[in-house]
Structure 1
Amino acid sequence: MTSRLTLFLFFLAFQLAAQPVSLKNATLLVSPSIPSPMRTTAPQMLVEEIAKRTTSTLKQSKTWPGGTTPTIVLALASDREVAGKPVPARTGMGLPEQKPEGFRVVTTGTTLWIIGADARGILFGSGWLLRNVKMDAKRLELAGPVEFASAPAYPIRGHQLGYRNTANSYDAWTVAQFDQYYRELAIFGTNAVEGIPFHEEGKGSPHFPIPAAQMRVRMSELCQKYDMDYWVWTPAEFELTDETKRKAELENHEAFYKSCPRLDHIFVPGGDPGDNHPREVMAFLKDLHGRLVQYHPKAKIWISLQGFNTEQIDYFYKYLEQHKPTWLQGVVSGPSSPPMSETRFRLPKTYQHREYPDITHNVRCEFPVERWDQAYTLTLGREAINPRPFFFADIHGKYAPFTDGFVSYSDGCHDDINKVVWSQRGWDPTKDVNEILNDYSRFFFGWPLTNDAADGIAALEANWKGPLAQNGGVEATFSFWKNLETAHPELKTNWRWQMLVLRATYDAYTRRRLLYEQGLEKTANALLTQATETSIEKTLALALATEEKADKEPVSVELRKKIETLCADLYASIGLQTSVPKYKAKNYERGCLLDFVDYPLNNRWWLADEFKKIRAMKTPKEQLERMHVIGNWETPGVGSYYDDVSSGGNIPRVKTISEDATDIAWWDNGSSRARLSTQTFQNEPALDYDNLDPGARYIIRVTGSGDALLRVDGQRLKPLIYNKATETFKEWIVPLSLTQDGRISVTFDGPEESHLNWRQHSKISDVWLLKQ
């Protein structure tokens, strides 16, 4: 009996201890020692964000309420008391609430304390509360009791928000929208924002609510409001030896510095854009610093080594060794920079090292989607809505240890989830990605959707893995989001919700189109292979008509209409520009998925052009030969093999991965009529073949453009046919001695093309091994 009573009492005590902490209609006390403007900013943030999600209103007071009224208190770790009551204190060294930006959240009775090491600690502690509290019309509560403390692992955690025409949404934002976004980034641990004050100066944007010169000052004011570091990215896009332009640039900078109430860091990329030797760059930066400290005495200068060659990089480090510039804060590593590990190793410890990760692009970028299916690259493009939480958590973990933090490259709100993942991993590199997505979903969509929306976001990332035609999860993801959308109509105007529903819908529509249009192509190809001299014209007409059913009898019309509607909703809610003609995006690369939603996913455009060439041929024999080549392009026959070397599909023979295989697709503003396989490539692919017939003769055929220096089992072969133009053939006979063991390895040497722009380098798109 006694043991049962003891067990009951233990269980009762546990239940009482685990009771949620209700904060409904709480009184909010703020320590007067919290510096301004955070003394106003943090309570305002708490009051407003809670009011949006509940029927509860926090009442600010300077005195403690009576009775059992719940109380939220904001205090500094250095405070002994607030309004006469002692601040809960802990003893010990290295406590999170004693470290820069650190905080502690603790409950004592009906009081919840947010104790910050400094002003930012107050901000981030308040953000923790908003991310974790359960809010709706009936409740405002935390799982209790609460005892949590944390401090950031990395001191720099920021994102670039460029108010310029290049952005696909920021240029449409009002000051109020930027204010809200700053706040939301801060809630998830961001402590810096980077502006772009001079790039594209004078070009303007049709979406600007106020001129760029005014907005960049307002962005500085917002950084001051939220105690965020204000960075600016300011490339030197002229010859620094031009004294007239140099003087004008310095004066332009000084006028900007003078206008900003807060300015902390000036980042000047060495290249991308820009093409100056570091001897000119460093002298220019030193002069910039002299102007800068007149108005912002603690502000510092940063440089990236982007685009520098070996001699220029060595010059930079010798400069640091000889001059030891105290005006330089550190080095930024971005795309085309030296390896981050090397930079940290060579950079003296007195200088900081910041990463500049591209979290906004999907192709032609620093971190492209690996083996991204071509159907996506052709239709979603470079700046699509791109939640990649697990991928970017891994990227952060790989490079962050060599840095003091990051300020990401972002050209729009489409990468919002990636920003949150970077900010949260910058705070705590061990934080589970699922937990981050739960926090995101709870705060932005409401606590009932904490797990479901998080799972839906993860499913969207999985939509981009592997061959799209084989990814049945895309339909499951669409059904999942469709059900969520039906169950939560209250989120219809939430722009983050709109983006996720659009992606789920677009992915499903694209997959359905792919299966349908590829099926039409198989039928058309079969017709071409069966053509005879007496049926050439009839076959050409019927094959093209078969392919063009995709236009005349489209699939999933209802999804196509929904995509149109969601794009309109996003333009209205957040200024997302998904089309050049309709929403005035700067160009077709800037997230214009609406302009590519119907781009052919079979070769009907290419076939229409090829059929014109066939009709112009002199003899029926030539016509038939070409028709048979086209019809058998991907099905060369028993014992033969075909590979579209970078399609992202099931290509087990291809051993190499081109990180950015779809760059060639960007012809004619993304509307190329070239064969689809021609629009993917590798420069030097490697392929392995086995189960070959030792007694058979094989020919290797290649198409692409430029050179293809082929080796089989390490032996360079001389070609029989060697055409360099796009979509023409090169052919080699494989010596019988190399196929006697039933296997061969095919590789390609890289031709010397250092004098060419990378877009003009030789490309290999299709490889055949043809059994004779």
Structure 2
Amino acid sequence: MSKVILFLLLLGLNFSCTHQVNDSLDLSKATILVSKEIKSPMHETAGNVLAEEIERRTTIELEKSNGWGSNTTIALVLQGEADVFGEKVPYAKDADKKHIKKEGYRIVHQKDGKKDILWIIGADARGVLYGIGKLLRIAQMELGHIKIANNLDITSAPEYPLRGHQFGYRNTANSWDAWTVEQFDQHFREQVLFGANSFENIPFQESSSSVHFKVNPQEMEVRLSEICEKYDADYWVWTPAPHDLNVPNAHQEGLKEQEAFYARCPRLDGVFVPGGDPGENHPSKLIPYLKDLSVVLKKYHPDAGIWVSLQGFNEEKVTYFFDYLKANNPDWLKGLVYGPSSPPIDLERELLPEKYLHRFYPDITHTVRCHYPVERWDQAFALTLGREPCNPQPLQYTKLFNKDIGYTDGFITYSDGSHDDVNKVVWSQLGWDSKQDVHDIIFEYCQFFFGPKVAKKSVEGIFALEQNWVGPALGNKVITETLALWQEMEAQHPELTDNWRWQQLVMRAYYDAYIKERLTYEKGLESKAYDILANADTLGAEEAVNEARVYLEKADTELVAQNLKQKVFEYAEALFHSIGAQTSVSKYQAKSAERGAILDFIDYPLNNRWWLEDEFEKVKKLSTENEKLERLEFIRTYEFPGEGSFYDNISSADAKHVTSETDDAIDYLWENDGVSRKRLSTQLFQFTPTLSYDELDADANYLIRVSGYGEALLRANGQRLKPTKYEKGFEQFKEFPLPKNLIQDGKLEITFDKPDEEHLNWRKQSRVTDVWILKQ
């Protein structure tokens, strides 16, 4: 077998290519030569990354050399010329017409007599690493073997110049605060191999703020900077201004803290100061602070830039900010960041002068109470998996990427843990080439991290996990099939048992299946309790309540699917040991119940038994039997108003008449650390839902009933209705008589005007949870 030469070349030449795949090329006896044109530390990094990642997957140790020899003495050389010690760098046919763009690469296989040469030609040092990443992602690597397609010829360059992710070393993240420097180094490397070029830390964390810290956060701030320098990745920091710049000396103290940090960092490329979330500063105070901050930053990092977001800005603040840019045209500002609660992204881009860059700050890590809530997520998952579960959503995030990315120059995503690992790769690769098929991206992810034997099936498994969350969980056969698929792979590939990416995906399959089993069981128990209440007239109120309780209590005394639950706990334990994943507050010291603590909610009631128990106690205290029976009938028919009437739980996955999707920060009530005893329907809502009906009786009288919180400015077929009852608290009601003249065709469209509540925190703004159309 002939030797193979791997070239990592730094060249800014003209290339195009065609991708030809014939038989495979064996690289198991290749040697690596790195061009001296790649300056340190990237000179060492490039060769080490290639050799180490191959060895990690194959146990093959590729030799490195620093000069030409015979076929058995092969060097890896980089230089900017076409001739390398007698070996010509191959040119594409239209070399004079097209350059490899910044950060781009060309991978080309060349046959030279008995010698095979695989060239990785980078437009710059980063391009070399990205070329290595592509090679590693497409190579067939198994124990003792590494092969690629013969006659390979690929040219590629990134579409968007900014492609990064936030990695805050803080206890808010549900795993990273437990990481070592070595774990961050490996993880940043892997992100680069999939096309990322920027990493954003959140400094100024107290060393006592997490029991999981392996390294003092002040030291880790510097280590992360060094890792970015090692891989030639941009190092960013997210650093809010002092909360209130009106406080005496706050401005100066903020600058002093920042300067000490800048002085410690060997590399710093971007400083992002959010205008809000947190912070309530007016731009008249924030802008002078940013201007002074830029002076301090340039003192230590001349090429670094100041960035700011307008998150939480009202119209007056937005106008002030853009008027300032127009009047002053400041050079100290590098760009604007669009994040959750910023003004509309298209408006920002329109108002932003062309000289400034526009960075996207999308939330790819959360499922509810966030930038991009899961569409029509079943409440059973919202109540249990919560805000930060393992959430691979390649299809949804491809759609969201394409929706907004065109207004920006790229992105650094918002992430708070390792649970969104698949989503990071999707964004990195779409930022490289937005026209890629996301299935191909996930295939490379699976082949690189899990190996070629399981790649195809694990791709199916990841997309199946996303489908688990589409539509109502009850009756969703996909959930059962998804578990069976992952169980099959789990049994066939024990070698992946310690792989943390594998662990969290398999755990999700078990978790989803357990929730579906429990949901089916508990809804059935609630239905039987209502059957008992239907006979309350005969049984008597007290006896009906007692018998109904018997069925409700079975959810706690006669448990189901405990084998599935046990597997979830086993994988949670494995994840804690592999990456410090904190899936419980009490067991693994997660920061809070909202931060990935999925174990703490795995048995949260999926029926209304807590609410019913509280209502039963209220019924007992009523004065007369008739009052008790009336209340029990109201409870029983809450979601079942009778023939000719309609009910919708606004944000439920099975709502029949709701036509709107939540498009704001929240669609799930969070109170009492997630342990609410309110009706389940009360815990889901939209701010201004729309509902559509086409089966009303034009000759009948109807009453529209609404539950929620605060205001409900209801319109029926465009006409604002006047209420006859208008209660504003949770589980209280507003009632609107529906004029017959509005439904002559039997059709009805309900909408809600948004009240003027910009001054209120979003958690206190009005919302709608339930809507009834009651035939009188």
TM-score range, shorter chain: over 0.9
By how many angstroms is 1:318 displaced? 2.7
Aligned partner of 1:234 among 212, 235, 239: 239
Letter in 1 for 2:619: I
CA distance in 2, matches of 1:321, 1:694: 57
Say whether residues 1:132 and 2:138 are aligned partners: yes
Aligned partner of 1:764 among 756, 760, 768: 768
Say whether residues 1:424 and 2:432 are aligned partners: no
Say whether residues 1:713 and 2:707 are aligned partners: no
Letter in 2 for 1:215: M
CA distance in 1, matches of 2:745, 2:346: 43
| Equivalent residue number for residue 673 of structure 2 | 669
Letter in 2 for 1:637: G
CA distance in 2, matches of 1:134, 1:187: 16
CA distance in 2, matches of 1:434, 1:716: 47
By how many angstroms is 1:754 displaced? 3.9
Letter in 2 for 1:75: L
CA distance in 2, matches of 1:83, 1:552: 78
Letter in 1 for 2:78: A
| Equivalent residue number for residue 117 of structure 2 | 111
Kept in 2: contact 1:97–1:150 (CA 8 A): no
Task: Give the gaps of 5 or more residues in structure 2.
Answer: 1-19
| Equivalent residue number for residue 187 of structure 1 | 193
State the Cα deviation string for residues 504-545 of structure 1 (Å, max 9, x = none): 111111111111111111111111121126532221111112
Q: How does 1:603-752 map to 2 (within 5 A)?
A: 603-649=608-654, 651-659=655-663, 663-752=667-756
State the Cα deviation string for residues 464-521 of structure 1 (Å, max 9, x = none): 1111113211111110001010010100000000010011111111111111111111
Kept in 2: contact 1:240–1:276 (CA 8 A): yes
Say whether residues 1:157 and 2:163 are aligned partners: yes
Letter in 2 for 1:18: N
CA distance in 2, matches of 1:725, 1:230: 47
Kept in 2: contact 1:97–1:115 (CA 8 A): no
Aligned partner of 2:559 among 538, 541, 554: 554
Say whether residues 1:20 and 2:19 are aligned partners: no
| Equivalent residue number for residue 87 of structure 2 | 85
Say whether residues 1:75 and 2:62 are aligned partners: no
Kept in 2: contact 1:375–1:510 (CA 8 A): yes
CA distance in 2, matches of 1:694, 1:243: 67
By how many angstroms is 1:156 displaced? 0.7
CA distance in 2, matches of 1:476, 1:685: 33
CA distance in 2, matches of 1:416, 1:79: 39
CA separation of 1:339 and 1:211: change in aligned 2, threshold 3 A: same
| Equivalent residue number for residue 145 of structure 1 | 151
CA distance in 2, matches of 1:575, 1:688: 47
By how many angstroms is 1:238 displaced? 2.7
Say whether residues 1:492 and 2:493 are aligned partners: no
* Deviates further, 712-721 or 486-495: 712-721
| Equivalent residue number for residue 475 of structure 1 | 480
CA separation of 1:690 and 1:164: change in aligned 2, threshold 3 A: same
Aligned partner of 2:506 among 493, 501, 525: 501
CA distance in 1, matches of 2:435, 2:325: 35
Task: Give the gaps of 5 or more residues in structure 1.
Answer: 1-15
Say whether residues 1:569 and 2:588 are aligned partners: no
CA separation of 1:283 and 1:736: change in aligned 2, threshold 3 A: closer
Letter in 2 for 1:160: Q
| Equivalent residue number for residue 101 of structure 1 | 103
| Equivalent residue number for residue 268 of structure 2 | 263
| Equivalent residue number for residue 48 of structure 2 | 44
Q: Secondary structure of 1:548's match?
A: helix
| Equivalent residue number for residue 584 of structure 1 | 589
CA separation of 1:113 and 1:253: change in aligned 2, threshold 3 A: same
CA separation of 1:498 and 1:544: change in aligned 2, threshold 3 A: same
By how many angstroms is 1:422 displaced? 0.6
CA distance in 2, matches of 1:464, 1:70: 55
Q: Secondary structure of 1:149's match?
A: strand
Kept in 2: contact 1:700–1:767 (CA 8 A): yes
By how many angstroms is 1:748 displaced? 3.2
Aligned partner of 1:325 among 323, 330, 340: 330
Say whether residues 1:213 and 2:215 are aligned partners: no
CA distance in 2, matches of 1:121, 1:305: 33
CA distance in 2, matches of 1:316, 1:725: 38
By how many angstroms is 1:594 displaced? 0.4
Q: Secondary structure of 2:392's match?
A: coil
| Equivalent residue number for residue 184 of structure 2 | 178
CA separation of 1:661 and 1:734: change in aligned 2, threshold 3 A: farther
By how many angstroms is 1:660 displaced? 5.2
| Equivalent residue number for residue 522 of structure 1 | 527
| Equivalent residue number for residue 13 of structure 1 | none
State the Cα deviation string for residues 605-663 of structure 1 (Å, max 9, x = none): 111111000011100101111111111222222222111121121x2322222235964
State the Cα deviation string for residues 247-285 of structure 1 (Å, max 9, x = none): 222121111111111111111111111122223222212
Kept in 2: contact 1:701–1:732 (CA 8 A): yes
Kept in 2: contact 1:374–1:662 (CA 8 A): no
| Equivalent residue number for residue 300 of structure 1 | 305
Kept in 2: contact 1:702–1:767 (CA 8 A): yes
State the Cα deviation string for residues 440-467 of structure 1 (Å, max 9, x = none): 0000000112211111111111111111
Q: Secondary structure of 1:231's match?
A: strand
Kept in 2: contact 1:73–1:113 (CA 8 A): no
| Equivalent residue number for residue 391 of structure 1 | 396
Kept in 1: contact 2:312–2:342 (CA 8 A): yes
By how many angstroms is 1:708 displaced? 2.8
Kept in 2: contact 1:75–1:87 (CA 8 A): no
CA distance in 2, matches of 1:599, 1:17: 53
Letter in 1 for 2:44: T
By how many angstroms is 1:357 displaced? 0.8
CA separation of 1:92 and 1:285: change in aligned 2, threshold 3 A: farther
Kept in 1: contact 2:271–2:305 (CA 8 A): yes
CA distance in 1, matches of 2:21, 2:702: 77
CA separation of 1:254 and 1:545: change in aligned 2, threshold 3 A: same
CA separation of 1:367 and 1:90: change in aligned 2, threshold 3 A: same
Letter in 2 for 1:86: K
| Equivalent residue number for residue 250 of structure 2 | 245
CA distance in 2, matches of 1:194, 1:17: 38
By how many angstroms is 1:242 displaced? 3.6
CA distance in 2, matches of 1:644, 1:143: 54
CA distance in 1, matches of 2:21, 2:775: 76
CA distance in 2, matches of 1:695, 1:99: 69
Q: Secondary structure of 1:469's match?
A: coil
Kept in 2: contact 1:37–1:225 (CA 8 A): yes
Letter in 2 for 1:371: R
TM-score by length of 1: 0.94
CA separation of 1:739 and 1:300: change in aligned 2, threshold 3 A: closer
Letter in 1 for 2:175: S
* Deviates further, 386-395 or 702-711: 702-711
By how many angstroms is 1:17 displaced? 7.7
Q: Secondary structure of 2:537's match?
A: coil
Q: Secondary structure of 1:114's match?
A: strand
Q: Secondary structure of 1:422's match?
A: helix
RMSD in angstroms over aligned alpha carbons?
Answer: 2.0
Q: Secondary structure of 1:437's match?
A: helix
Kept in 2: contact 1:74–1:122 (CA 8 A): no
CA separation of 1:467 and 1:659: change in aligned 2, threshold 3 A: farther
State the Cα deviation string for residues 553-605 of structure 1 (Å, max 9, x = none): 11101001111111111111011111111111111110111000000000111
CA separation of 1:555 and 1:659: change in aligned 2, threshold 3 A: farther
Number of residues paired by the alignment?
753
| Equivalent residue number for residue 283 of structure 1 | 288
